[in-house]
Structure 1
Amino acid sequence: MSKVLIVAEHLDGKLNPSTARAVSAAVALKPEAVDVLVLSHDADAIAAEAAKITGVSRVLTVVRPENAHPLAATLAPQIAKAAAGYSHVFAPSTTFGKDVLPRVAALLGVAQVSDVMSVEGPHTFKRPIYAGNAIITVEAPASQTVVATIRTASWPASGNGDASASIESLTVDVALPAHTRFVELQQGKSDRPDLQSASKVVSGGRGVGSKENFDVIFKLADKIGAAVGASRAAVDAGYVPSDLQVGQTGKIIAPELYVAIGISGAIQHLTGIKDAGTIVAINRDAEAPIFEVADFGLVGDLFKLIPELEQAIG
């Protein structure tokens, strides 16, 4: 029987929703157990959150001062050690997971399976390739530990159960490297919903025209309680910071509603929104590729259409 170890993603004492999505993928294996591993310098609150996720058998905590910041070089040796006895090691396919899990795979001497979007069997998975234009089936060796990142946009978040999983402290006897150290974390602060987990997202592209004009995107997003995203062209032009970028080289998201404003619809951008529920596009170019995937489209000047939309919304 399979036993799955999920590496929890967290920041500032809060569990990232991507962890619950990784649990959904683990449950699809129908394993004997799904354990969540929390590495932190203060794991109590994070572990309590993880213990409430439906499908979780146990929460294992590794508390060390070195785990105060998520450094891949520090976390990977501990995860590899904790993985003993597990058939699978999962982590979300986020910036965190993409940073940490390849190191874990290397330490375990296995090849990583990336961006798992479907579980076909204990060692058989489907994942996207060619910017999402094709889906391939990959099979990991049954004799080795499966190390895989989970494409969070393809999985619903596992809910919170009434019962709480047990929380156990784990000690891993492993020497940690000293060549990597934490300097600082620079991140934008916003009261808006998190882009990667938001149910509604409003994104702007090159067609918005300037950093100052991007205010129309922020105002519409605030009007409907949405997160804000952007195309790579808008980020490259300096309209918004890179942490808002949606697409193949940005964030892969799956909101219930995605509003694309002034975005032409390059394949790299469409890769990031292919799992969105309803896509609404606003663009002055009626031939823009975005209209081929949009459920609703408006052709015209975004600076005239958006105020009309805001007025209609009330």
Structure 2
Amino acid sequence: MAVLVIAEHDNATVKGATLNTVTAALACGGDVHLLVAGENAGGAAQAAAQIAGVAKVLHADGAALAHGLAENLAAQVVAIAKDYSHVLFPSTAGGKNVAPRVAALLDVAQISDATKIVSADTFERPIYAGNAIATVQSADAIKVITVRTTGFDAAAASGGSASVDAIPAVADSGLSVFVGSELATSDRPELTAAKIIVSGGRALGSSDKFNEVLTPLADKLGAALGASRAAVDAGYAPNDWQVGQTGKIVAPQLYIAAGISGAIQHLAGMKDSKVIVAINKDPEAPIFSVADYGLEADLFAAVPELVAAL
């Protein structure tokens, strides 16, 4: 049977997390179909059809799907799920909001945060903040899976030639109503999609110091800014910068951790980064255990020197 991927999109384009999820879907075996559900989302459906490896795009267009309300989107997925052996979501805030509803409506177990597809019914996922990997086998007829996107390479966004089939959109469930949204805007790359991330910890001491010390480095590198939970809890950085088990899972090409001790919850969110650079004056800081390059130094001296050298 075919494999269904639930696309994340903005009605015009498909978000990067979907490309990683397509790669996971291809490893499950069978044709990969992509569901694009929204209102006036024809642009996203056409973009989805260009993704390499996708055999068919299902386009559901209706007012009830306009804002991605989890209850309505779950109903849309369930309406077509019987035709698929696997239903895959990116393990993003949106995917984690909808997938459990779909699993419950289908009366199957959900497999969360899959990092490897071993076979069509066997998957690997991290447990204990990534300190152990569980191998999970499912006998469910339909396997509902959220995919940790950092575990899979992104499929090519072009080169495909899938057909686009319109399908009926579900009616509004009446269970929730879209009231409004407040979107954070930034000139910097989005944290989970950034190739370079500069993160700061509690050692920075204040939000003023956080910006004063780390912003010039991020500007030089064209990087996104991140923070440890301790720095966010202390008010040095906004919540959407938090990297870690209770924040965002990232895997950039370069991750620079300044003044971050490396608590297990933080390491769980960034240890898959390709190159990790740690700056900390404590030689026993756990961050050095995962760093490719470690600098035992005062960040207030080392970071400005690095900026000057760049």
Same fold (TM over 0.5): yes
- Corresponding residue for 1:276? 273
Q: Partners in 2 of 1:11 and 1:232 — Cα distance?
A: 29
- Corresponding residue for 1:7? 6
Q: Which amino acid aligns with 1:52?
A: Q
Matched, 1:177 2:176: no
The correspondence of residues 30-41 of structure 1 with structure 2, limited to 5 A, is 30-31=29-30, 33-41=31-39
Q: Partners in 2 of 1:210 and 1:45 — Cα distance?
A: 44
Deviation at 1:53, TM superposition (A): 1.1
Matched, 1:154 2:186: no
Deviation at 1:178, TM superposition (A): 1.1
- Corresponding residue for 2:261? 264
The correspondence of residues 130-209 of structure 1 with structure 2, limited to 5 A, is 130-141=128-139, 143-172=140-169, 174-209=170-205
- Cα deviation, 1:97-130, whole Å, max 9, x if unaligned, reads 1111100111111010000111111110000001
Q: Partners in 1 of 2:175 and 2:308 — Cα distance?
A: 56
Out of 196, 206, 211, the position equivalent to 1:210 is 206
Q: Partners in 1 of 2:12 and 2:158 — Cα distance?
A: 21
Deviation at 1:218, TM superposition (A): 2.2
Deviation at 1:312, TM superposition (A): 1.3
User: Structure 1 residues 88-97 or 45-54, which shifts more?
Assistant: 45-54
Matched, 1:128 2:126: yes
The correspondence of residues 221-236 of structure 1 with structure 2, limited to 5 A, is 221-236=218-233
Deviation at 1:307, TM superposition (A): 1.2
Deviation at 1:30, TM superposition (A): 2.6
Q: Partners in 2 of 1:265 and 1:11 — Cα distance?
A: 35
Q: Which amino acid aligns with 2:116?
A: S
- Cα deviation, 1:228-274, whole Å, max 9, x if unaligned, reads 11100011011111111100001111111100011000000000012
Residues 223, 310 of structure 1: 8 Å contact kept: yes
Distance 1:246 1:213, change over 3 A: same
Q: Partners in 1 of 2:120 and 2:107 — Cα distance?
A: 19
- Corresponding residue for 2:26? 27
- Corresponding residue for 2:40? 42
- Corresponding residue for 1:301? 298
Q: Partners in 1 of 2:261 and 2:51 — Cα distance?
A: 39
Residues 11, 40 of structure 2: 8 Å contact kept: no
- Cα deviation, 1:27-47, whole Å, max 9, x if unaligned, reads 11231x101101110111111
Distance 1:29 1:66, change over 3 A: same
Please list every run of 5 or more consecutive structure 1 residues that lacks an aligned counterpart in the other structure.
none
TM-score (norm 1): 0.95
Residues 77, 176 of structure 1: 8 Å contact kept: no
Deviation at 1:13, TM superposition (A): 3.3
Residues 202, 234 of structure 2: 8 Å contact kept: yes
Q: Which amino acid aligns with 2:298?
A: D
Please list every run of 5 or more consecutive structure 2 residues that lacks an aligned counterpart in the other structure.
none
Q: Partners in 2 of 1:93 and 1:163 — Cα distance?
A: 24
- Corresponding residue for 2:17? 18
Deviation at 1:12, TM superposition (A): 5.9
Pairs aligned (count): 309
Q: Partners in 1 of 2:29 and 2:85 — Cα distance?
A: 12
**Percent sequence identity over aligned pairs:** 52
Out of 64, 69, 72, the position equivalent to 2:70 is 72
- Cα deviation, 1:153-199, whole Å, max 9, x if unaligned, reads 11110113434211111114x44321311112223101111111111
Matched, 1:94 2:59: no
Q: Partners in 2 of 1:309 and 1:164 — Cα distance?
A: 46
TM-score (norm 2): 0.97
SS at match of 1:54: coil
Q: Which amino acid aligns with 2:245?
A: Q
Q: Which amino acid aligns with 2:14?
A: L
- Corresponding residue for 2:235? 238
- Corresponding residue for 1:59? 57
Q: Partners in 2 of 1:162 and 1:13 — Cα distance?
A: 18
- Cα deviation, 1:54-75, whole Å, max 9, x if unaligned, reads 1101111110112111211121
Residues 41, 64 of structure 1: 8 Å contact kept: yes
